[in-house]
């Protein structure tokens, strides 16, 4: 008889931002598959087992978890943030799509979590208050030319843009290139929010205008939110600025 496979997100890293549903799944599971830093966020009891793998081994991790669940165990695959946003839920579905027939019989439970852009947005106000999109700058799974095209179209369409995986040691140039491209389509004063480790003790939130946005402020723990032409900054004496994108946009209603 098949067991269950939970796919959960730990949220941005603050224990208070992990959902009760995800915590209940942790209580129910016996085995946990994930990248080490994400598994480190869990408090496991005796008899619960960690299966740690590298962050670039998503399909192998998903397959190992499905094999164990198909054999009858209650298994948990752990992501940071929300498991469905650039994370393990898609890898598990892809493994099921490609894998043996018995994996399709596994009781799969994907539980939503709080993703990084939501945590960063909450720190500064409401920059995602109107239409927005999320784009990963990693070209490990798609060509850079596609990323550039999506950035340009999103900026021209007036979306607020949340950038995931903005920079790494192997990709030190891509965020800077993204800023260069966006400067061709957005006002110089467009706010750029660098949200590093939002909600964690080492949190760092920095806001700069697009014309002076410094890519060196970001690392792989950073989510970058770039406003639209409608995004506004409210200066407050003695307090951090508030940034929001108005819900109403005037225009042709055809």
Per residue in 174-188, pLDDT (tens digit) is 999 999 999 999 999
Phi and psi angles of residue 22, each rounded to the nearest 5 degrees, phi first:
-65, -40
CATH number of the domain to which 192 belongs: 3.30.950.10
Give whole-number Cα distances, 149 to 14, 130, 182, 193, in Å.
34, 22, 11, 22
pTM tops 0.85, yes or no: yes
Three-class SS of residue 211? Answer: helix
Q: Is residue 50 in a domain?
A: yes
Domain range for 90 is: 4-110
**Both 90 and 210 in a single domain?**
no
Domain final residue pick, 56, 77, 110: 110
Q: Alpha-carbon Rg of the chain, whole angstroms?
A: 20
What angle in degrees, to the nearest 10, is found between the helix axes of 88-98 and 58-70?
70
- 42 within domain boundaries: yes
* Domain membership flag for residue 55: yes
98 and 161 inside one domain = no
Q: Residue 254 domain-assigned?
A: no
**Residue found by looking up tokens 């019989």 in the block:** 105
Q: How many domains does the chain have?
A: 2
**Per-residue model confidence as pLDDT tens digits over 111-126:** 999 999 999 999 999 9
Residues (pLDDT < 50) of the chain are 254
Position 215 scores a pLDDT of 97
- Residues 89 and 143 both lie in one domain: no
Residue that finishes a domain, picked among 47, 78, 110 = 110
């Amino acid at each position: 008889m098949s067991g269950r496979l939970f796919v959960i997100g730990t949220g941005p890293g603050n224990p208070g931002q992990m959902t009760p549903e995800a915590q209940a799944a942790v209580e129910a599971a016996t085995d946990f598959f994930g990248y080490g830093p994400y598994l480190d966020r869990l408090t496991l009891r005796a008899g619960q087992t960690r299966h740690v793998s590298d962050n670039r081994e998503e399909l192998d991790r998903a397959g190992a978890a499905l094999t164990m669940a198909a054999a009858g165990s209650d298994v948990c695959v752990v992501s940071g943030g929300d498991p469905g946003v650039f994370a393990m839920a898609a890898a598990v579905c892809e493994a099921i799509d490609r894998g043996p027939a018995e994996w399709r019989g596994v009781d799969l439970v994907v539980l939503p979590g709080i993703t990084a852009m939501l945590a960063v947005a909450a720190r500064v106000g409401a920059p995602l208050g109107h239409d927005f999109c999320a784009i990963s700058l990693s070209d490990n799974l798609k060509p850079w030319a596609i990323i550039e095209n999506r950035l340009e179209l999103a900026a021209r369409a007036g979306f607020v843009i949340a950038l995931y995986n903005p920079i790494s040691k192997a990709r030190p140039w891509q965020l800077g290139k993204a800023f260069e491209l966006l400067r061709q389509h957005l006002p110089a004063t467009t706010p750029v929010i660098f949200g590093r480790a939002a909600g964690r003790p080492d949190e760092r939130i920095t806001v700069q205008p697009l014309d002076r946005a410094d890519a060196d402020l970001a690392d792989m723990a950073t989510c970058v939110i770039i406003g639209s032409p409608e995004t506004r900054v409210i200066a407050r004496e003695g307090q951090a600025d508030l940034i929001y994108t108005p819900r109403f946009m005037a225009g042709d209603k055809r």
